[in-house]
Amino acid sequence: MKHELTLSGSVSHPRPALGLGLLIAAILALPARAASDLDKEMAELAKQVEGVVKDRGNVIQVGDFVAKGNAARQAATGGTAIAKALLDQLTKRGVNVSRTAELLVSGEFRDVTDKDSKTTALQIKAKIEDRRGEPVVELDSRGLFSLTTIAALVGLTTVTPPAASQEQAEKRLDQALDKIQSPRLAGTRITPVQDGATLPYSIEILVGPDPGQAKPDLKNYAPRAATLDQDGLAFLTIRRGEVYAVKVNNDSKFDAAVTLTIDGLSMYSFSDNKNYEVVFVYAGKSGVIPGWHRTKDVSDSFQVAEYAKSAVAKLLPSSSTFGTITASFKAAWPKDAQPPADEPDPKRNTRSADATARGNPIDAKYVEETRNVGQFRGSVSVRYNKAVDPADLPKQNP
């Protein structure tokens, strides 16, 4: 059951490498990329926090943001991404973030219905308290409306057919939030399915042994199958120290723009280039994302027990006993070409519109290409570290 309230928030209007068909992309807004909706809302929250701490040492600790309501039912782990976005915005404002601070900002997130737009949103509530747990102030809540962001933070599996009306799209989102939508599991492929509708996209999780101090080698990774738990969520086991990569399959007749997140954190969350947001996968191709993007030459491997080898990652709360890998999908097409025949008119969708994006191959050197990006078509999620035995299939080339 969702609450209905008015939220202060922003509605978002907006060469294959090694034969993998995968491109790294940067969403463009002229002259520079616009901040994501989560960044925008956490900038407003950071402003409130600054007002409280500026005369109290100008330092604060960023704590957990806990899933409530339907988000909790979905076993959402996106609180880490909320904390990361808030931490980044506090740093931009000159507020020091430290685990030893006397004050702590933390909160919760849940799905609600916005009274003004009558659309489903994700509400973020936050408070500041002292070391004894005594409340200092309740902060004004913020709202997120982007389907891609909601899917990433909650860890949704959902499908929005291109022909769906605005009303139908809202109904499908509500359905995905109210009741867990199980993806289709075929071998190691995990495909989004909802109410009989599916998408021509899927992901596979490739798992490698703990490399120790050595550089991980994709040749040592093997695809690992997921299983459905009693609630219908897809889970697989990745042992502590093991590394993993995400293979994205695009079986459609047009290119795909894919947003990959871990616990709501973009694969670019720790990148030196803050303009990157998505990867492109060519039509009929697959690509492997090996880890957290850092620079054009370096990525940190995805590894259980740590997000990335960066100072900011060490400041993030991580209380959940499992993680969530989510891939969201949109159509993409060359800058001067026509969109796919089934691409919806952006004017009929208040949540998102076309954007221009630049991409480059996931090679040692990146050379950008340009694509247009359409509207959200769906997402698929898989959790890891559930108490089930991992199922390794025979090794194959990623």
Question: Which amino acid belongs to residue 277?
Answer: E
Average pLDDT over residues 111-117: 85
Beta-carbon neighbour count of residue 390 at 10 Å?
17
Q: What is the pLDDT of residue 79?
A: 93
pLDDT at residue 309 is higher than 70: no
What percentage of the chain has pLDDT greater than the value 70? 78
Q: How far is CA 290 from the centre of its chain?
A: 16
- Give exposure, 247-285, as e/b (b: 16+ Cβ within 10 Å): bbbbbbebbbbbbbbbbbbbbbbbbeeeebbbbbbbbeb
Out of 149-153, 310-314, 324-328, least confident range: 310-314
Print the SS3 string covering 76-132. CCCHHHHHHHHHHHHHHCCCEECCCCCEEEEEEEEEEEECCCCCEEEEEEEEEEECC
Residue 16's φ and ψ, nearest 5 degrees, are -20, 145
How far lies 98's CA from each of 66, 92, 93, in Å? Answer: 20, 15, 15
Q: Which two tokens stand for residue 56?
A: 């109290």
pLDDT category, 364, cuts 50, 70, 90?
Answer: very low
Contact 142, 9 (CB under 8 A): yes
∠ CA 132-137-142, nearest 5°, is 125
Q: What is the pLDDT of residues 337-357, one digit of tens each?
A: 899 999 887 666 656 544 544
Q: What is the pLDDT of residue 3?
A: 45
pLDDT at residue 396 is higher than 50: no
Q: Rounded to whole angstroms, how far apart are CA atoms 209 and 219?
A: 11
Q: Which residue has the higher pLDDT, 141 or 3?
A: 141
Q: Rounded to whole angstroms, how far apart are CA atoms 37 and 225?
A: 33
Beta-carbon neighbour count of residue 133 at 10 Å?
7
Q: Rounded to whole angstroms, how far apart are CA atoms 119 and 173?
A: 10
Q: Which two tokens stand for residue 134?
A: 């005594």
Q: What is the pLDDT of residues 248-303, one digit of tens each?
A: 999 999 999 999 999 999 988 888 887 788 888 989 999 899 888 887 777 788 88
What percentage of the chain has pLDDT greater than the value 90? 54
Beta-carbon neighbour count of residue 348 at 10 Å?
10
Q: Which residue has the higher pLDDT, 244 or 10?
A: 244
Mean pLDDT for the chain? Answer: 82
pLDDT at residue 10 is higher than 60: no
Q: Which two tokens stand for residue 326?
A: 């989510």
